[in-house]
């Protein structure tokens, strides 16, 4: 089964300093038909204005993945971590039994554009943890590069859930495919550009849910950058 989620159908919040599009119910946006997909709970496409950001706040029992598309995101947390996330980086923070953190755009003239992803963990009450790795463009070109997984395979960041996140860059005749095991689901989110997924045209911000199919095929990209989640 294939189900589309068009970019314009998402929830939208404009806070001045933050422009956010919600693929699933989040904060003041509530849609019973879009509460998540399998273990995937949140995909927020956020744009943070210069010199602003998320002040210190807390999370519990959630795997939070940040993927920067433009600009830079400065991270600080109660574990003592301080880092800057730039395009190509994948950050994973396991909130576990509780963590406080902040995320800021310290640039004075550039917007930070990033995806905030929440995945529900399969364990609760664990010590909080942090991991950040860089994946260059060449490693994602014309293939699905594994960037997050339950076992840290292929140098990916490790998440506490039976979920694998892949990223691809596609242009022209380039093509990438993913075999979906029986009973598994896939969720494809287009971060930018255009491409087709199993023959269905998608643009930036669009998403596709797939279940009961043997393969997920991404092709005919034009400046495309897409994320594919393999979910239980």
The beta-strand segments (E) located in 112-154 are 112-119, 129-134, 145-149
Q: Are 75 and 81 in contact (CB under 8 A)?
A: yes
**Model pTM score:** 0.97
pLDDT in tens, the chain (232 residues): 999 999 999 999 999 999 999 999 999 999 999 999 999 999 999 999 999 999 999 999 999 999 999 999 999 999 999 999 999 999 999 999 999 999 999 999 999 999 999 999 999 999 999 999 999 999 999 999 999 999 999 999 999 999 999 999 999 999 999 999 999 999 999 999 999 999 999 999 999 999 999 999 999 999 999 999 999 9
pLDDT at 179: 98
Cα 34 to Cα 202: distance, rounded to the nearest angstrom: 19
User: Token digits for 9?
Assistant: 């159908």
Give dist(CA 200, CA 194) in Å, integer: 11
Residue 229 pLDDT: 98
**Residue 172 burial (CB < 10 Å; 0-12/13-18/19+)?**
exposed
């Amino acid at each position: 089964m294939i189900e589309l989620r068009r970019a314009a159908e998402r929830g939208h919040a404009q806070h001045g300093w933050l422009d956010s599009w919600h693929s699933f119910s989040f904060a003041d946006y509530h849609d019973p038909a879009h509460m998540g997909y399998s273990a995937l709970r949140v995909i927020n496409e956020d744009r943070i204005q210069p010199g602003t950001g998320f002040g210190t706040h807390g999370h519990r029992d959630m795997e939070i993945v940040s993927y920067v598309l433009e600009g830079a995101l400065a991270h600080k947390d109660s574990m003592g971590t301080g880092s800057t996330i730039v395009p190509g980086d994948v950050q994973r923070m396991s909130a576990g039994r509780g963590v406080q953190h902040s995320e800021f755009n310290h640039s004075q003239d550039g917007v930070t554009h990033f995806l905030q992803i929440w995945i529900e963990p399969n364990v609760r009450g664990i010590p909080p943890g942090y991991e950040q790795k860089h994946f260059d463009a060449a490693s994602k070109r014309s293939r699905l590069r594994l960037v997050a997984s339950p076992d840290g395979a292929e140098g990916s960041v490790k998440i506490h859930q039976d979920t694998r996140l892949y990223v691809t860059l596609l242009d022209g005749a380039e093509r990438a495919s993913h075999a979906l095991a029986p009973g598994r689901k896939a969720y494809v989110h287009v971060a930018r550009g255009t491409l087709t997924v199993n023959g269905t045209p998608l643009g930036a911000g669009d998403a596709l849910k797939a279940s009961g199919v043997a393969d997920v095929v991404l092709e005919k990209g034009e400046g495309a950058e897409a994320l594919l989640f393999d979910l239980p």
